[in-house]
Amino acid sequence: MDFPESKHVKLKTLDAVREDAQDCTRCDLYKNATQTVFGEGGNQARVVFVGEQPGDKEDVEGRPFVGPAGRMFDAILEEVGIDRKKTYVTNAVKHFKFELRGKRRIHSKPNAGEIRACRWWLDQELTLIQPDVAVALGATAARALVGKAVPVMTLRGTITESAEGVPVFITVHPSSLLRVPDEMDRRRARELFAEDMRKVKALMKG
Ligand code: URA
């Protein structure tokens, strides 16, 4: 006999997956990081924002996008009228990768193997949430979502399909706005990112 519910039986909840991820040893990054920084938000979210990996502050607090890039991101979301509490915010890689310089922990880019290993968690987040759109914030997120290297500046502002068929909106990482040296250029970069977020808002159906 066919039980239609049976195909849902094995689906875990987001909280259960979050708990499993705390013990993740799928790559070596867990060895030096403080903790797994899993995504944050409800499974009703219509948009999933995907960053690269937690930074220093996120690693300590255990929450995504709470450092300087996160504050910039929050301010722009508010400006364009996206309520972060109604979104899901996560990272392609869930442990902080860094190099020690003296006492400072300097961000180090995750490699293709680490991105692939961590896709295990991102897949489950997307499957459980089923968003209208996933937003790739920068090259690492785009690579994780699309399954191969993506030319972010060429595809910026456009939709590409994820490996699982979720529409992926490509844009830059908010931390890139903080690194623009000239003030006028920085304002322009911020405005372009805000324009992208307005497009994302229009893609959210609910
Ligand atoms: N940068 C990211 O990509 N993710 C964070 O959570 C913080 C900074």
Complete domains list, the chain, with CATH: 13-203 (3.40.470.10)
Classify strands 98-101 and 167-171 as parallel, antiparallel or unpaired: unpaired
Return the ligand 1 atom nearest residue 69 CA: 8
**136-188 tens-digit pLDDT:** 999 999 999 999 999 999 999 999 998 888 999 999 999 999 999 999 999 99
pTM (2 decimals)?
0.94
**8 A C-beta contact, residue 152 and residue 142:** yes
Phi, psi (rounded to 5 degrees) for 104: -85, 140
pLDDT tens per residue, range 95-120: 999 999 999 999 999 999 999 999 99
Q: Is the CB of 41 under 6 A from ligand 1?
A: no
Ligand 1 binding pocket includes 55 (Cβ within 6 Å): yes
- Cα four-point dihedral sign 174, 144, 45, 19: negative
Among 65, 125, 143, residue to substitute to test ligand 1 (most atoms within 8 Å of Cβ): 65
Question: Does 69 contact ligand 1 (Cβ within 6 A)?
Answer: yes
Cα separation, 200 vs 194, whole angstroms: 10
Burial of 43-71, coded b for 16+ CB within 10 Å and e otherwise, reads eebbbbbbbbbbbbbbbbeebbbbbebbe
